[in-house]
Amino acid sequence: MFPIVVINVPGLSPSFIQAAKQKMPAFNELAAKGAQLPLRSVFPAVTCPMHATMTTGLPPGEHGIVANGFFDRDTVSVDFWQQSHRLVQGWRFWRAAKKKMPDLNVAVLFWQNIMYSDCDIYLTPAPIHAASGQTVQDCYSKPRDLYAKLVGALGPFQLHWYWGPMVSVQGSLWIADATRWVLENCAPHIVLTYIPQLDYTLQRHGLKAPQALVDAGKVDALIGELVRAVSARGGTAIVVSDYGISNVSGAVRLNAELRKAGLLEIREVAGREYLDLGTSKAFAVVDHQAAHVYCTPQEAAADVGAFLRGVPGVEKVLVGDEKRSLQLDHPRAGEVVAIAAPDKWFAYDWWEDEGRAPDFARTVDIHRKPGFDPLELFADPQTRRLATDHSVVKGSHGRPPQGASELGVFACADKTVFGKEVPKSVNAVEVPHLIMKLAGLK
């Protein structure tokens, strides 16, 4: 039974798996031994909400992780990629599991919102931004000395492998090696780990590019190594993709549209334009193909929603109580929520003159931007500055899943976890219950 290792491989979808079948023998073997099902993501189908859902069994409207970042109305600031476990409003599954098995040892590597968690072992990137402007690379771990031991065994984790224009499969390789080290040296019963490279590749190149198949093979090799390590210990492996990637052909600049409508305010400093969150009537916190639009006063939401419905590339707009239809009715959510058309993604920028863009615009700066910026994956090799052309982004995600490219995947080497009859699909909220069932704790 143990160890149970859950390998999160974002970007896998039923359609991509079929296209990359010849490149993914390890995944195919696991699925053939057990079962492979489509996984229906929550909305928005992005990393932090999905990681919270797959560890609590709750939708974003209940656990409160409504996006990878959201607006804090009290501090009048947008926070992206906050790592604290305390932001998650709901029990992670291991707390309930430990009531039945007090000595249960759970390890979580590189899943989001895990810092200061009550699991037994965790590891998450936590660089220090020095006064000199340099980034001191580090990871935060429990036990405190875990990362130091991993550095001794594997060398340090390099943040540029994990995000930015130099992102590399080397980052996923390091995480896979760290997972095997934890299995060998810490004897956890359940491990959640993360192999993100395919996600980046598909955002950069799209589903049909040759590089997509190349990296599918590289990711599959890491899956195979982890599955063999688990099997050698008599355990069971699960591969879960929290969302699929769709091909896109351009961005919708929501904040630029709101500015044209006179709803968004700008503060000019040293010739550059910065978003004035405190005086704007409406602004968008964008996240791939989803956007939270925050309105002041809140009663203006109906008018803002009506305006956004007329913006090309916006497929659907939810205002107020309409968010309940997608289980996103939480105080952290925007008064208005927008969903992009299948072939579009939302860009955060608001300026028309590149020379007036804020200083962080063409740098990798995941915390100061009021939105996710996939252009951070692209840089001009001569200037080393980030791309400005939205068309370079070829893949995105986040919409409520519809077609086979937007669905995720749940594959388990032991199909008995589903009971007497394997269902046609799995909902994301079911994932922690399936893990506990496989562990004999439900």
Model confidence pLDDT, tens digit, residues 2-23: 999 999 999 999 999 999 999 9
Q: What is the mean pLDDT of residues 95-119?
A: 97
What is the predicted pLDDT for the residue at 346?
98
Q: Is the pLDDT of residue 383 over 80?
A: no
Q: What is the mean pLDDT of residues 35-62?
A: 98
Region(s) of the chain under CATH 3.30.1360.110: 251-393
Architecture of 251-393 per CATH? Answer: 2-Layer Sandwich (3.30)
What is the predicted pLDDT for the residue at 132?
78
> Predicted confidence band at 385 (pLDDT cuts at 50, 70, 90)?
confident
What is the predicted pLDDT for the residue at 390?
96
Q: What is the mean pLDDT of residues 409-431?
A: 95
Q: What is the mean pLDDT of residues 121-139?
A: 87
What is the predicted pLDDT for the residue at 133?
72
Note the pLDDT tens digit of each residue in 344-367. Answer: 999 999 999 999 999 999 999 998
Location of structure tokens 């993360």: 194
Note the pLDDT tens digit of each residue in 200-228. Answer: 999 999 999 999 999 999 999 999 999 99
What is the predicted pLDDT for the residue at 442?
84
Architecture of 4-247+400-438 per CATH? Answer: 3-Layer(aba) Sandwich (3.40)
**Mean of pLDDT over the chain:** 96
Q: Is the pLDDT of residue 396 over 80?
A: yes
Q: What is the mean pLDDT of residues 420-425?
A: 92
Region(s) of the chain under CATH 3.40.720.10: 4-247+400-438
Please tell me the least confidently modeled range out of 92-96, 128-132, 420-424. Answer: 128-132
Percentage of residues of the chain with pLDDT beyond 70: 100
pTM higher than 0.85 for the full model?
A: yes
